[in-house]
Structure 1
């Protein structure tokens, strides 16, 4: 239970429903925050069978120090002494909510890859709040927890979003009082910078050289790369597909006639991924390695689906040997989009190729399109100006 401070009083934000912030230093002192934004100090106690809240004054009328002094005097001088109402200690714990949330929401509605990420967020949440009852999770505690994760802002924000949705479901499932609200509502997310890293033609050449050298190296030797890992990386680079889409790709999804992959269940639902001649040639090579009864285009030595961890470890070695330590495997997707735009492909078409759910996602590449347009205009105007200079030079010689 937090101690009321001037900072806590100032930072308390209004919610859709009124709520109270309790104090541990003065028993029974609470700050009530109304949806209108008005904040009022109360003294809460039990008088016989009645739960009493005695108004001490709004924050504009009395300071925190004055409210604290009034509450202490009231408790000390009243005869018979007032008994402070104990805070209810009932209801489910966060650990119980997390178990139900995973079983009834995550496992039912989210894809396997997303479930793995949610498990990590839930572990982070349970490490802090696992043994607490839902009613004991306060905005102040959530804010401190979120602040403790500030060195990894993206992970902190995503874990906060999961915790927020957990309390939304808790309200739907009637696990908390209706007026409890979400303790995450007033916590501000960290600003997340969109990280953009695109491979240059020279970097692509280095990557391909290291990839080929790894394929030629004997199995078990330093730098050796299995054919399946090499194929997965090439598919990522040539198509701009997501890692999970490539690892889940099955031969039944390959439509050579229409030159596309037909994915029944991608991140954005069912979609078709167009493929070019280099991909078809790669598929021809992979077809020769195809094993009876194995559904996956790229697979482990046992014929099972290639694991993200296996691909990730191989990529870490590959990029280090290529001198591309800052390049993530997902940057291959960004680079494919960048190359398409620089080649003159419209943003809307790039969005269709990558399978973006909304144009807003593709809009992050707009500056690349603008740069390509600027280069084209520069080349055009330089060419026109050069023609003019040539004509003037010819005229002066006459």
Structure 2
């Protein structure tokens, strides 16, 4: 460890000064002790020296941007879930690319406004711009809390255009999912493992990164299957999921049935034994979706094929018809009921209409007139779908 020594010096001013030379860079820094007494100035110097030795002192907004990124990474990013840390790094990289900050003090309101404008010029979606701004705002708040940034810039989040879709994809249908299963053999190295994996995504509602940590065994950072109680559960540690909260989550009956088909001797290690990291596994799922011709978004002529997250969306859409929004929120692990309501509740008019028509027999009775009305509606729907 390099020794740091702070010396008290006189600059011919009212207050005595203290200074030190960085043993790594050779740069000298001075500051006022605020004291006229050599004894009190020595105490102030000793305090500053202790801060330097312990790494608690940093220059404020004058800190070089590269130095700040290193300090932020070492002291905060390492505490976040890996996926979250990746998102923050991506935002900081984008900010550097478009705004080229030299010092932390360059993180200002005009720069943030320019950053948002550059993202729009790059044809980023409003949701993507909002995500980058949220990450940058969180970084700014952290720097301000650490006394490194004097003021947090103003962030104006983009508003969603009325009628614009919330989702980048959509919930896929059962027929589309079955088409994907038929394409596993052509696009995945092990048909049995990948078929089991796709069924697991379809039935569990797990995010891609979460599915790859799902384990039969209790180990650090793993989401653990627990079939020992009256009801099957998932035990989710804070570091393994997006919400950063320790949770116990009920397993839906159909997913529990899939898990219980696994023979006892095979219930060791990861539940889904597909090989590859998050990026590779996600690419394989998307390749299967593309081979099956399952298009989930066609905005601006850019076709997006079914991905792992669209299987999660399908899980949410199915269960939104079976449970109350508060239960669905727990299943999806949304931080706010607003998210659940916005994405999964009341958004499928055709499914709502189908439920109304099927319920009609219960409300009006099983009459010949009612049966004829239902038959007419069914024939019309078949006709429309065949066009």
Give the TM-score normalised by structure 2: 0.63
CA deviations 1:149-188 (Å, max 9, x no partner) are: 11113333222222223332332222244xxx333x0544
Match of 2:52? none
Asked if 2 retains the 8 angstrom alpha-carbon contact of 1:97 and 1:166, the reply is no
Shift of 1:111: 0.7
Whether the aligned pair in 2 keeps the contact of 1:198 and 1:331 (CA below 8 Å) is: yes
User: Matched residues in 1 for 2:144 and 2:255: separation?
Assistant: 53
| Change beyond 3 A, Cα 1:380–1:312 | closer
Q: 1:273 to 1:247 in 2, by over 3 A?
A: farther
Counterpart of 1:376 (choices 343, 355, 363) is: 355
Match of 2:331 among 353, 362, 365: 353
Q: Which runs of 5+ in 2 are unaligned?
A: 1-59, 218-223, 296-304, 371-387
SS of residue paired to 2:134: helix
**Equivalent residue runs for 1:205-224 within 5 Å:** 205-211=178-184, 214=185, 224=189
Equivalent residue number for residue 257 of structure 2: 280
What is the root-mean-square deviation of aligned Cα atoms in Å? 3.2
Number of equivalent positions:
282
Q: Secondary structure at the match of 2:261?
A: helix
1:107 is paired with a residue whose SS is: helix
Q: Which residue of 1 aligns with 2:288?
A: 318
CA distance in 2: counterparts of 1:340 and 1:144, whole angstroms: 42
Distance in 1 between the 2:73 and 2:252 partners? 37
Distance 1:165 1:362, change over 3 A: closer
Structure 1 residue 367 corresponds to structure 2 residue 346? yes
Aligned to 1:144: 114
Identify which range, 320-329 or 131-140, moves more after superposition.
131-140
Query: Alpha carbons of 1:231 and 1:209: their partners in 2 closer, same or farther (altered >3 Å)?
Result: same
Over 3 Å counting, the alpha-carbon distance change for 1:271 and 1:370 in structure 2 is: farther
Distance 1:107 1:90 in 2: 22
| Segments ≥4 residues shifted beyond 6 Å | none
Aligned residue for 1:163? 136
1:370-397 deviation digits (Å, cap 9, x = unpaired): 765543333344672762749xxxxxxx
- Tell me how far 1:102 sits from its aligned partner: 2.0
Aligned to 1:6: none
SS in 2 for 1:345: coil
Pick the structure with greater CA Rg: 1
CA deviations on 1:124-159 (whole Å, 9 max, x unpaired) are: 122344552233444333322221111113333222
Tell me which residue corresponds to 2:308.
329
**Conserved 8 A contact 2:133-2:155:** no
Task: Give distance in 1, aligned partners of 2:359 and 2:149.
Answer: 66
Residues 357 and 165 (structure 1), Cα distance of their counterparts in 2 relative to 1, 3 Å cut = closer
1:197 lines up with 2:170 in the alignment:
yes
Contact 1:95/1:130 (<8 A) preserved:
no
Q: Name the CA shift for 1:125/1:286 in 2 (closer, same or farther; >3 Å).
A: farther
Instruction: Give the secondary-structure state (helix, strand or coil) at the position aligned to 1:262.
Output: strand
User: For the Cα contact (< 8 Å) 1:237–1:336, is it kept in 2?
Assistant: yes
Query: What CA distance in whole angstroms lies between the structure 1 residues aligned with 2:112 and 2:68?
Result: 16
> Does residue 94 of structure 1 match 2:65?
yes
Choose which of 231, 242, 248 in structure 2 pairs with 1:267.
242
Give CA-to-partner distance per residue, 1:38-82, whole Å, 9 cap, x none. Answer: xxxxxxxxxxxxxxxxxxxxxxxxxxxxxxxxxxxxxxxxxxxxx
In structure 2, the partner of 1:37 is none
Unaligned runs of 5+ in 1: 1-88, 391-398
Cα offsets for 1:19-55 (capped at 9, x unmatched): xxxxxxxxxxxxxxxxxxxxxxxxxxxxxxxxxxxxx
Residue pair 1:95, 1:131 contacting (<8 A) in 2 also = no
2:147 matched to 1:174?
A: yes
2:306 partner SS: coil
Deviation at 1:286, TM superposition (A): 6.8
Q: 1:227 to 1:104 in 2, by over 3 A?
A: farther
The CA distance in 1 between the partners of 2:174 and 2:106, in whole Å, is 56
